[in-house]
Amino acid sequence: MTSAHTAKKKQTNRWVFVLYIGFFAGLIWGALKIVENYFKFTTIGIGFLVEPFFKHDFFNTWMGLFMGWITFALFSIFAAFIYMVTMWKLRSPFWGIGYGALWWAIIYLIVGPITGMVYWISELELNTIISDVCLFLVWGMFIGYSIAIEYTSARTTEAIPKT
């Protein structure tokens, strides 16, 4: 047998991979959400997901900012797991963009206003709407395309045989 035949395929653990993708999506795009809020592109801060459970002023402290960021990372991990279970075979980046748009619609149009996470869309400034839609689109594309690329075109890697 040649060394090419004895090379073992190493398969990526999909659940650990999704955990990483969700965590880094929350870390990266959560940081962008903080910057977006700092420069007043949006009036909705990073702690919007847990806004109903705390006083609004809490999120103006470093502890509140950190809690909001961690919550966004946990939410991103949850969203990445859902993407993995439902859409992992879809290769186009447009599926991820659509996934981000779906999450934005769920949070900003349905669940958010009902629970007090965000104001009704008619009460939001246009800059806030545009900034947050764009953030969710790239966030969704990051999650969706990262998962799709890993599991459709680079699902397994071959170990380099020693000569």
At 136 the pLDDT is 98
Q: Which residue has the higher pLDDT, 33 or 8?
A: 33
Task: Assess whether pLDDT exceeds 50 at residue 119.
Answer: yes
pLDDT band at 150 (very low <50, low <70, confident <90, very high): confident
Closest-CA residue to 135 (of 41, 38, 64)? 41
Task: Assess whether pLDDT exceeds 80 at residue 143.
Answer: yes
pLDDT band at 10 (very low <50, low <70, confident <90, very high): low
Closest-CA residue to 100 (of 79, 70, 84)? 79
Task: Assess whether pLDDT exceeds 90 at residue 9.
Answer: no
pTM of the model: 0.84
- If 0-12 CB within 10 Å is exposed, 13-18 middle and 19+ buried, where does residue 32 land? middle
Cα–Cα distance measured from residue 31 to residue 48, given in angstroms and rounded to the nearest whole number: 14
Task: Assess whether pLDDT exceeds 90 at residue 132.
Answer: yes
DSSP 27-38: HHHHHHHHHHHH
Quote the DSSP letter at residue 89.
T
User: ∠ CA 78-81-84 to the nearest 5 degrees?
Assistant: 155
Token digits for 127?
Answer: 């800059």
Cα–Cα distance measured from residue 132 to residue 75, given in angstroms and rounded to the nearest whole number: 16
Task: Assess whether pLDDT exceeds 90 at residue 149.
Answer: no
Task: Assess whether pLDDT exceeds 60 at residue 162.
Answer: no
